[in-house]
Amino acid sequence: MVELWSLGFVFVAGLITAFATGLGALPFFFLSDIGDRWNVALWGIASGIMLSASVFGLVLEALGAYVHVSLGGLSVDPIPHQDLLLLAGGLAAGVLLVYVAHDVIEAAEVDPQQYAEADFKKLVLILGVLTVHSFPEGVAVGVSFADLGVQGGTQIFGFVVPLLAIFMTIAISIHNVPEGVAISIPLRSMGVPNWKLVWWSVFSSLPQPIGAVIAFYFVRTAREFLPAGFGFAAGAMIYLVLTEFIPEARDVGRSLPDDGRRELIGGLVAGVAVMLPLAFI
């Protein structure tokens, strides 16, 4: 049985990642625009964070009993075929979810103007579209809390929190900041007030705490499928990076010298450099 307090704790963690999206709108309170160079770098940082969190956080955690990472190197014990199949199946399912989400988003044809002047029906449509887009990120947070309350984590407000959960919450929160910038740019061009930029940025990530709670409940009640849960979250995030974040950065960087490759690569390296040390902890 999953305790109510643990569900609430995971929901708050997911809510933190959602609120972090609103930080992407704050620069517009002080600047009239965000330059393409910085935008490309931000997308690169987000991509590096997500990739390192997926590979060095989720995938290694899925095989944590068999893969040993230290500053001295990497060692791998024989891995049961069942765990490998669960991990591979989870990775494939995560990719499939994002692939289907792409089709839903493309078919919905949501006009950004609806963000500024949306009636109830339009709000329901937008929420449905954004759910399939940001749900995998919430899943990643929820899965990372699988060992909440188990000895060996870090004490936070009296709760034993897994290091992976801290790692993933930070990773998704930082990743959400440039996403908030991306959401705010078209709204700002339509004259939407600054405080509404913050609101709509946060709104776009509200499915994350819901996804976090659902994923957490699943992995706590069916722990034998934990490798599949980690694989699902990792597959979804890796596919998001390869099909959305990096292409978005390339599109924004077309006006820059060398198509913004230096900014993108620099951001990727910075994102990995920020999160990689946490993987060894």
Digitized pLDDT (tens) for each residue of the chain, 281 residues in all: 567 888 888 899 999 999 998 998 888 888 766 677 877 887 888 788 778 878 877 787 777 666 666 656 666 677 778 888 988 998 998 888 778 776 766 665 555 455 445 444 544 554 455 555 677 778 878 888 877 776 666 777 777 788 878 888 887 887 788 777 767 765 675 677 888 888 888 888 888 898 889 888 888 887 777 788 778 878 887 888 888 778 888 888 888 888 888 889 998 998 888 777 765 55
Please report how the helices 36-52 and 163-189 are oriented relative to each other, as an axis angle in degrees rounded to 10.
150
Return the pLDDT at 123. Answer: 46
The Cβ-side half-sphere exposure at 235, using a 13 Å CA radius, reads 21
HEC string for the chain: CCCHHHHHHHHHHHHHHHHHHHHHHHHHHCCCCCCHHHHHHHHHHHHHHHHHHHHHHHHHHHCCCCEEEECCEEEECCCCHHHHHHHHHHHHHHHHHHHHHHHHHHHHCCCCHHHHCCCHHHHHHHHHHHHHHHHHHHHHHHHHCCCCCCCCCEEECCEEECHHHHHHHHHHHHHHHHHHHHHHHHHHHCCCCHHHHHHHHHHCCCHHHHHHHHHHHHHHHCHHHHHHHHHHHHHHHHHHHHHHHHHHHHHHHHHCHHHHHHHHHHHHHHHHHHHHHHHHC
Neighbours of 32 (CB within 10 A): 7
